[in-house]
Amino acid sequence: MDYDRLAQLVFPDIRDTVEQLFAKYPHRALPRDACVTRFAPSPTGFMHIGGLYAAMISRRIAKQSGGVFYLRIEDTDKKREVEGGVSEIISALRDFGIVFDEGPTDETAESGAYGPYKQSHRKALYQTVAKDMMRRGLAYPCFCTAGELEAIRKEQEDNKEPTVGYYGRYARCRDLPLEEVERRLRAGEEFVVRLRSPGDETRRIVCHDLVRGDIEFPENILDVVLLKSDGIPTYHFAHVVDDTLMGTTHVIRGDEWLSSYPVHEQLFAAAGFRLPRYIHIAPIMKLDGASKRKLSKRKDPEAAVSYYHQEGYPPDAVLEYLMTIANSSYEEWRLAHPQADTTDYRLKLDKMPAAGALFDMDKLADVSKDVVAAKSQQQCFDEISAWAARFSPDLQAFIQAHPDGFMATIDLWKHSGKKVRKDIGKWSDLLRMYDYLYRPAFTPGAYEFDETLTPAQAREFLEAYLPAYDPALDSSGWFAQVGQVGQGLGYCPNMKEYKLNPAGYKGSIADACSILRVAVTGRRNTPDLYTILHILGPEEARRRMAACAAALA
């Protein structure tokens, strides 16, 4: 076979050589042990939390070694691509502080010397490598139709072949005479380009995975497709060409790609390229009853990165939690370094889980509460304001109308005296837990009065207190005034006296304050009531007290 002639027939428009490609994409000038990693999603409009996890790990491995982390868009499947998908990826990751040294910066622009960073713009590169492989007898055109491929599959099943696919004696186009290839090309027949696999089903290969150790596989024997009939590469072939020309040293990907390793190793060898190191990370799992399963974008809202934005989890809290999944030693490090930035921790591959990592929403909530508690009031103000502008019109309106009052509310739910409270783990909690502070014209759905107080007693106290309420009083003066009003109705103003003789009173000063608290907030348990009244302002406080008294009539 004249392979040079075959390559020229199949790729008449390809003029560059592989040597010229390497001149265009030279070896990166980086420190000896620097890692070059990438995140390579498809622009399908859905960013999975597992993708964020992989991107975080990839970036960390590159940056802690003084290397490069880049974004590559795998957009060869146009049927699944959604409009604005690239911007969605960039925005979703940027929100979590995951930025790239190279890659697309929006739908049309990019930055970096190793592009294009969209596979759809790299067609000639793949064809150049495929032509070189064909010239060396390691690739060939295949004209088999879908019907012929189905017939091959059925024949293999009837013969009870252990391997089903296009290989060996079933590879009908593998050794077509050059004349027949030329005739079919002139006739305009559709074809794909396949690898001429040198594999032997009796041989074994070893994947040296940096997390899982050595994993043995049977050698690939399939003549896999390199280029589809439109000249666009398959994922497998694009991966080999791109990671080589872009200088990727470490491929970090989900363990669902482990089974593809024999094909990838063989493709790298056939192309004459150096194999990168592989890190196959465990999938993120969730408990479903008594068993674990992968997070599903169809079943689990928390599978989507957008869920965490919408709920208002601080991005650094999500990354903090993901680090506890990524490395078993991270939590111990965090306890020893409570004030350190998470980037100060050096990710260790030997501490990464090989089995599925359980994503625990309760633990995320706890981690997030710790992260929120450590933020300053100004940090909270800025982050909540940004979140509300995107996801909460009510809260945004309150912040814009009452910026000072909103800052005061942050101190209210962050502190109890000198103690830091840990009630809030995500910004959407604010409207769920403190709706009485932030919703305009708030009216409780129900009033949570203590069962020991009758509605008549609560109404009686409110009607007596309303004309006496003086918003100009300081905290101690306000508390004394509540006691005076209550004393006139039979409530003991001194808790020690009340405990000595509870039967002698209608209730205590605590009960009087509880009536006010429930009237204003609808709830028995809230932060400091005096502060709440001042944040609401006297007009709104009186409106709520009057509304409650009327509801109890």
Same domain, 250 and 149: yes
Q: How many structural domains does the chain have?
A: 3
Q: Both 198 and 223 in a single domain?
A: yes
Both 393 and 259 in one domain: the answer is no
Q: Given CA atoms 377, 382, 383, 386 in this order, what sign does their dihedral have? A: positive
500 CB neighbour count, 10 Å cutoff: 10
Residue 309 belongs to some domain of the structure: no
Give the domain-ending residue among 384, 410, 438: 438
* Model pLDDT, residue 355: 84
In a domain, 90, yes or no: no
Residues 401, 502: one domain? no
Helix axis angle, 455-465 to 538-552, nearest 10°: 150
- 261 and 145, same domain (yes or no): yes
Q: What is the pLDDT of residue 292?
A: 87
R_g (Cα) of the chain, nearest Å = 33
Which two structure tokens, joined as six digits, stand for 529?
């009531």
Residue 232 belongs to domain with CATH number? 3.40.50.620
pLDDT of residue 310: 94
Q: Quick check: is 7 in a domain? A: yes
Q: Pick from 194, 355, 210: which is nearest to 276 by CA?
A: 210
Same-domain check for residues 419 and 532 = no
For every one of its 553 residues, what pLDDT tens digit does the chain have, with 9 covering 90 and above?
899 999 999 999 999 999 999 999 999 999 999 999 999 999 987 889 999 999 999 999 999 999 999 999 999 887 888 889 999 999 989 999 999 999 999 999 999 999 999 999 999 999 999 999 999 999 999 999 999 999 999 999 999 999 999 999 999 999 999 999 999 999 999 999 999 999 998 999 999 999 999 999 999 999 999 999 999 999 999 999 999 999 999 999 999 999 999 999 999 999 999 999 999 999 889 888 888 898 888 889 999 999 999 999 999 999 999 999 999 999 999 999 999 999 999 999 989 998 887 899 999 999 999 999 999 999 999 999 999 999 999 899 999 999 999 999 999 999 888 889 999 999 999 999 999 999 878 888 889 998 888 999 999 999 999 999 999 999 999 999 999 999 999 999 999 999 999 999 999 999 999 999 999 999 999 999 999 999 999 999 999 999 999 999 8
Q: Is 428 in the same domain as 532?
A: no
Q: Are the C-beta atoms of residues 50 and 283 closer than 8 Å to each other?
A: yes
Q: Is residue 522 part of a domain?
A: yes
- Asked which of 438, 471, 489 is the last residue of a domain, the reply is 438
pLDDT of residue 417: 82
Structural domain for 419, as ranges: 375-438
* Residues 55, 350: Cα–Cα separation, whole Å: 18
Residue 268 lies in a domain: yes
- Name the token pair of 299: 């079943």
492 and 431 co-located in one domain: no
Whether residue 146 contacts residue 153, with contact meaning beta carbons closer than 8 Å, is answered with no
Distance CA 50, CA 300 (A): 13
Residues in the chain: 553
pTM higher than 0.85, yes or no?
yes
C-alpha torsion 218→223→226→229, nearest 10: -150
- Flag whether 316 is in a domain: no
Is residue 355 packed enough to be buried (19+ CB in 10 Å), middle (13-18) or exposed (0-12)?
A: exposed
CATH at 480: 1.10.10.350
Considering the domain architecture, whether residues 129 and 217 belong to the same structural domain is answered as yes
Q: Are residues 241 and 141 in the same domain?
A: yes
Asked if 426 contacts 309 with a C-beta cutoff of 8 angstroms, the reply is no
Indicate whether 433 and 468 sit together in one domain.
Answer: no
Q: How far apart are CA 29 and CA 183, in angstroms?
A: 48
Q: Give the number of other Cβ atoms within 10 Å of residue 267's Cβ.
A: 26
342 domain-assigned: no
pLDDT computed for residue 357 by the predictor: 79
Residue 117 within any structural domain of the chain: no
Domain boundary among the residues 234, 261, 281 is at: 281
Both 232 and 381 in a single domain? no
Q: Which helix (H) or strand (E) holds 287?
A: strand 284-288
